[in-house]
Amino acid sequence: MACLDLTVVGSSDAFNAAGRAHSCYLLEPHDEALGPVMIDFGATSLMALRRLGRRPSDIAAFAFTHLHGDHIGGFPFLAIDGMFNEPRSQVMKILGPVGVQSRLEALLGVTYGDILDRPRPYELDFRELLPGGEATLTGLAVQGFPADHMDPPEQPLCLRFTVPSPEGDKVVAFSGDTRLGDGLMAAADGVDLLVAECSGLKHPIGRHCAWEDWLTYLPQCTAKRVVFSHLGAAVRAARERLLDEVPAGSPPVTFADDGLSLTL
Ligand SMILES: [Zn+2]
């Protein structure tokens, strides 16, 4: 029996490739006592969420993989939406890597001045998650794994969520942005769904996963299903051909688009 919906709110890289919204995912357990949780919220995420007809004030918690603008840049708009547009009453729970509170508060200050000192109808509840750490967020178990994307003191994360269900727990992992390495492989191990970044076809593309990495790794990947997202322009343009290249023995592969919804 199904226990969660996963909606790709945005599927692009940092550059809004092919006019898509920044990488952003809504995890909605079917149990109303749990979640829902948003994973990352880039500069265009509020627009993408509204395009899906969804309300930010209904989302209990926000988890961030790392503190780059295409993953956190929508936070100021989210924060003021709950103050001035659709007043939010429930606590906004925020879980993210080391420094998440100071970075998001600084972002608010840069974009909206003294907004943090003004009355707000909801509370912000910040918590940090370390690589190797565990937390509970709106009833969901969350594990953090080290992503290879930024230099210390930044500690970017791959995130893994376990959604409890009487019929058997479901596990969904998010790569965030990272090179394909031990942290991502550990996060992906045995999960029901891996949402993984694929920013380009080949290196050099910085500390990201390229399609050439996935061609090598997919046959060993123990995730039951893989959705590629954070797609750069070249990957999106070539996605039909890339599906034909998926090696035998790989888990089922899908390329994400904004609005893609899966039920597990
Ligand atoms: Zn990114």
Please report, in tens digits, the pLDDT of each residue of the chain (264 residues total).
789 999 999 999 999 999 999 999 999 999 999 989 999 999 999 999 999 999 999 999 999 999 999 999 999 999 999 999 999 999 999 999 999 999 999 999 999 999 999 999 999 999 999 999 999 999 999 999 999 999 999 999 999 999 999 889 999 999 999 999 999 999 999 999 999 999 999 999 999 999 999 999 999 999 999 999 999 999 999 999 999 999 999 999 999 999 999 999
pTM reported for the whole predicted model: 0.98
SS3 of residue 59 by DSSP? coil
Q: How far is ligand 1, taken at its centre, from the CA of residue 121, in Å?
A: 31
Q: Which among 151, 145, 152 is positioned nearest to 180, based on CA atoms? A: 145
Q: Output the CA 204–ligand 1 centroid distance in Å.
A: 16
Q: What DSSP assignment string belongs to 197-260? A: E--BSSS-SSSS-BHHHHHHHGGG---S-EEEESB-HHHHHTHHHHHHHPPTTPPPEEE--TT-
Q: Where are the domains of the chain?
A: 4-249
- CATH hierarchy code of domain 4-249: 3.60.15.10
Q: How far is the CA of 71 from the centre of ligand 1 (A)?
A: 6
Q: How close is the Cα of 177 to the center of ligand 1, in Å?
A: 5
Q: Residue 57 Cα, ligand 1 centroid: separation in angstroms?
A: 24
